[in-house]
Amino acid sequence: MVGRSWSRTGRLGMLLSGVVLVAVAAGALAAPASPSPERVAREVLQLFTGGRWAELRERFAPEVRSMVGLQQLEASGRAIAAQLGRLQEVGEAQVRSAPQGVQVVLPLRYDKGPAWLYVTIDEKGQLLGFLFGPPPQQAGPARPSGYVPAPYADRSRFEERPVVLDTAGVKLPGTFTVPKGTGRYWAVVLVHGSGPQDRDETVAANKPFRDLAEGLATRGVAVLRYDKRTYVIRQDERLRQDPALLEAASTPDGEVLEDALEAVRWASRQEGVRGVVVLGHSLGGMLAPAIAERSHGLVKGLVLMAANARPLEQLVPEQLLYLARLDGQVTPEEQHRIDEAKALAQRLGGHGEPVPLDTNVMGAPARYFYALHDLAPLPVASRLSVPMLLLSGGRDYQVPETDWRMWEEGLAGRPGVSFRRFAALNHLMMPGEGPSSPEEYAVPSHVDPAVIDAIVTWLDRL
């Protein structure tokens, strides 16, 4: 699952985001003191490509190694192999500054196309994270080969307009997908899950936000989607040199809320828009109620898609247990990681010794998690009067049924709240069979048409 290798919020996306590909973490190298960054990056690639998962895992610091499972690394390796094939060539490394040291970018050529490996290393030669992603000079949404528009997308029925949102000194490119015709329409603002994601919320060959935008616009609904601030910063060397900007982007406000509110304001000013609805996915769904509450009435409705009701750190032990059980057994090593994750969740939840605010927790400062506690979605949602539609996949292991039941119970009897759960869908609201796994996200698919239909039907009733 894609993480945020450019900042301290690196590892959060590995378990919690809807985006797959690679594990990232903060940690230490079991290697000679202060090896060259390029050497570290090439060794990480060698271990990953060679499937030497135990050795690769040993490269992480003890406090993070407990959260990185061999099965997770292996699943990431299978996902990369499925998407890109065999590694054919490694190009010349680029070494550039990063918030906690340096980042090495290795251009790679695989059977099925190019990829770039980002390896972030601190001044002591310790591995902070690694991530497969688009080229560093690429602007706008990543466009990996393999994506085919969804069958329900009819481009003759909508047009795309370029958008640039400007928040906190960062320009966020976006796309406003507008139905053709002269009538008035709802505008849906899409808010991403965790991690540095593009406007399409690209996952390998899958683009769930593009599916939603084109599917909804085909049905007469406008959609605004934009590149996330963390994604834009990762592409721009100048922005990565600004400590204040990086610090702000490692908070819920700077990562999600400020940009989503600017998108809401922009959409509300567009001609033909009858009202703005926020659709948040995963972390974006968790924070959607807070976006509505801070919008001063601009948000007229919420769609919470695969949204967690509990704090993020409480999901991690369950995700680790689920992944450990995929092969039919939980090893002592896996159980140890699960137990440590539970203990950390307890401390962050106020039971036991508090976690110092600047402590690195799964790649993010502890204050990030405490700030999310103040934005707990159920209490905020309970204060709102706007209509809500909650969508969930029955095969979603990242935000499991426990959270779905909490939403149902917490909003029971609340007027204007609708619930739809789709048994065969995963965290990306894409169909599949059997237990969901990280590798599934690398298989080309589309947001299920029933999800598009459920959103349009709900909007028609607003």
Catalytic residues: 282, 396, 427
Are the beta carbons of 131 and 197 closer than 8 angstroms? no
Tell me the HSE value of 193 on the side-chain side, using a 13 A CA sphere.
30
Retrieve residue 404's tokens: 């779905």
106, 90 in Cβ contact below 8 A?
yes
In whole angstroms, what separates CA 322 from the centre of its chain? Answer: 19
Give the Å distances, CA to CA, from 382 to 64, 77, 261, 279.
36, 42, 20, 17
Amino acid making up residue 445: S
- Contact yes or no for 280/302 (Cβ under 8 A): yes
In which residue are the tokens 């271990």 written?
47
Cα–Cα–Cα angle for 368, 136, 312, rounded to 5 degrees: 20
Q: Tokens for 393, please give them.
A: 């996949």
Nearest of 14, 141, 19 to residue 430 by alpha carbon: 19
Output the CA–CA distances (angstroms, integers) from residue 380 to 16, 108, 310, 390, in the order listed. 21, 45, 13, 15
